[in-house]
Amino acid sequence: MLVGVVIIVGLLWLFYKHWVSNYSYWKKRGIPFYPAEFPYGSAPNFVKLKKFKGYTMDKMYHEFAPHPMFGIVVLRKPMLIVKDPELIQMVLTKEFSHFRDRGIFKLPKRDTINHHLFNLEGEKWKAIRMKLTPTFTSGKLKTMFPLIISCAENFSSLLLSMADSKVDIKELAGRFTADVISSCAFGLEIDIMNNPDNKLRRIGIERVKVKTLKKLKNTLTQIFPALSTILPARSNESEEQNYVINLVKSIIEQRENNGIVRNDFIDVLINLKNKGNLGDDAQETEEPFEMTIELMAAQCFVFFIAGFETSSSLQSFCIYELALHQDIQSKLIKEINEKIEKNNGLTYKALNEMEYLNMVISETSRKYPAVPELNRQCTKSMTLPSGQKIEKDTFVVIPIWSLHHDPQYFPNPNKFDPERFSQENRDSIVPYTYLPFGEGPRMCIGMRFGLLQTKLGIVTLLQKFKVEPCEDTAIPLVMGAKSFITATDEPIIIKLVARS
């Protein structure tokens, strides 16, 4: 009995020593670091996710104010937090070949729906990125514009039914963007505006939520990456995957059998599947790949999730700020009226001429960046100009939320001030301190599309309505921990007032 106890205690002691062995990782390398404690490391909230990750990072960011970077340990994984804009430029652009991958987790082959552009690494990422980049040119977006306008008209009708009442603008914007992405990514006209419980939308919402089992799985795979290929997917995840794959398969078969062309994302993928390129504007790549139904479904799925969730959050944050700042809202409404009248309607050209709208959305993206941080993994060891070495497989974190709220770069950062992005002022913004879509070769491929649908949603609302705060409007907003993106856990309530 005693021998057994001694063995167990000895094994636990060895486990403990192994676990905390990385807690001195940054000290040995001469890099400032945030102390770690067993078992969570430097930042328990990064594991527990009890509050918004951006708030936790911001506290550490300011404690290391004089330093260009600092180290933390999450569980037992060392991570380098890069603060200095020149170092951020090095990671995202200049030395991109050393930091090409996100290193989130190893993708199991069976988990086909997650083999999309956001998660892929190495040469496969490069090949698909090159193939899909021309999808989001101005020319391609113009061909999709009528599809988005159709959704905007339905959005306007929904808003009219709620005139002069309190609304959850987060929910309404989510319905609009889900309808847009359903149309442009899947070629579906399923009227999510009036059917918010549509299965595709529900799947998308569930995928961005932080749930206990998902947290546990992510934690285990962070410690033991090989487990990602062993741990089974939850049954509902398998069902979701099969649903999306079968949906895409049926849409493709219908189009190919009936010669249907909609000028949307599915058409682009079909072209890739059949011809291996996107036509004259495609870029060449040395990495051949087969565009299978599963791979097509994965790209559609990430387009849907990223497109509707981040864009709806951006719209709702923007409309919330306009409700609190009536002077900014009035100026924006004036510009919208002028540009629509000048172009004889709400056209693609009219939308792109709305300079003040660009400023308002840019400031919203600063104050509420879509994600609180960017993650990269060092794929090849390198030595910094300072002489310090970043070793292969080191995780690098770029704290977007903290950069966007740093008074050194954006004075009075909690103030909503679109003038920061006027033609006179935007050039004074320090490069690589404003990163709402990332930067470099791995920046958000759908940036133009996301901004297009965001602009159209805001303009559609302000054409016929004003927005005002009410007794149920939260001031200020508090970001929540229930989502991987920057979002509130609670509804965003404003009053929708019909314009005379």
Per-residue pLDDT at 386: 83
Quickly tell me which residue has 């890099």 as its tokens. 31
The Cβ of residue 415 has, within 10 Å, a number of other Cβ atoms equal to: 11
Provide DSSP, 123-170.
HHHHHHHHHHGGGGSHHHHHHHHHHHHHHHHHHHHHHHTTTTEEEEHH
Per-residue pLDDT at 231: 57
Per-residue pLDDT at 82: 97
Q: Model confidence over 199-210: pLDDT tens digits?
A: 888 887 777 766
The Cβ of residue 332 has, within 10 Å, a number of other Cβ atoms equal to: 22
Residues 392-417 have a mean pLDDT of 97
Backbone angles phi, psi at 374, to 5 degrees: -110, 145
Q: Residue 207: name the closest of 486, 489, 482, 466 by CA.
A: 482
Residues 352-362 have a mean pLDDT of 98
Per-residue pLDDT at 216: 56
pLDDT for 287 beyond 60: no
Please say whether the dihedral angle defined by the alpha carbons of residues 432, 435, 221 and 24, taken in this order, is positive or negative: positive
Residue 353 CB contacts under 8 Å (≥ 6 apart), including other chains: 339, 342, 343
Top-confidence range, 111-125, 240-254, 300-314, 413-427 = 413-427
To the question of whether residue 470 is assigned a binding role by annotation, the answer is no
Q: Model confidence over 20-77: pLDDT tens digits?
A: 889 999 999 999 999 999 999 998 888 888 899 999 999 999 999 889 999 999 988 8
pLDDT for 80 beyond 90: yes
Per-residue pLDDT at 371: 94
Per-residue pLDDT at 286: 47
CB 337 within 8 A of CB 428: no
Lowest model confidence (mean pLDDT) among 106-120, 260-274, 480-494: 106-120
Per-residue pLDDT at 464: 95
Tokens (6 digits) for 362: 């840019």
CB 300 within 8 A of CB 266: yes
Tokens (6 digits) for 23: 């807690």
Q: Model confidence over 162-183: pLDDT tens digits?
A: 999 999 999 999 999 999 988 8
Residues 230-234 have a mean pLDDT of 55
pLDDT for 484 beyond 90: no
Percent over 70 (pLDDT), the chain = 90
Residues 79-89 have a mean pLDDT of 96
The Cβ of residue 468 has, within 10 Å, a number of other Cβ atoms equal to: 16
Please say whether the dihedral angle defined by the alpha carbons of residues 23, 26, 27 and 28, taken in this order, is positive or negative: positive
Determine the 3-state secondary structure of 79 from DSSP: strand
pLDDT bracket for residue 229 (50, 70, 90): low
pLDDT bracket for residue 285 (50, 70, 90): very low
Per-residue pLDDT at 217: 61
Q: Model confidence over 132-142: pLDDT tens digits?
A: 887 788 888 88
pLDDT bracket for residue 124 (50, 70, 90): confident
Per-residue pLDDT at 214: 59
Angle at 222 between CA 221 and CA 226, to 5 degrees: 45
The Cβ of residue 174 has, within 10 Å, a number of other Cβ atoms equal to: 23
pLDDT for 328 beyond 50: yes
Per-residue pLDDT at 490: 92
The Cβ of residue 263 has, within 10 Å, a number of other Cβ atoms equal to: 16
Per-residue pLDDT at 220: 59
Per-residue pLDDT at 279: 44
Quickly tell me which residue has 């930042």 as its tokens. 43
Q: Model confidence over 422-448: pLDDT tens digits?
A: 999 999 999 999 999 999 999 999 899
Per-residue pLDDT at 261: 84
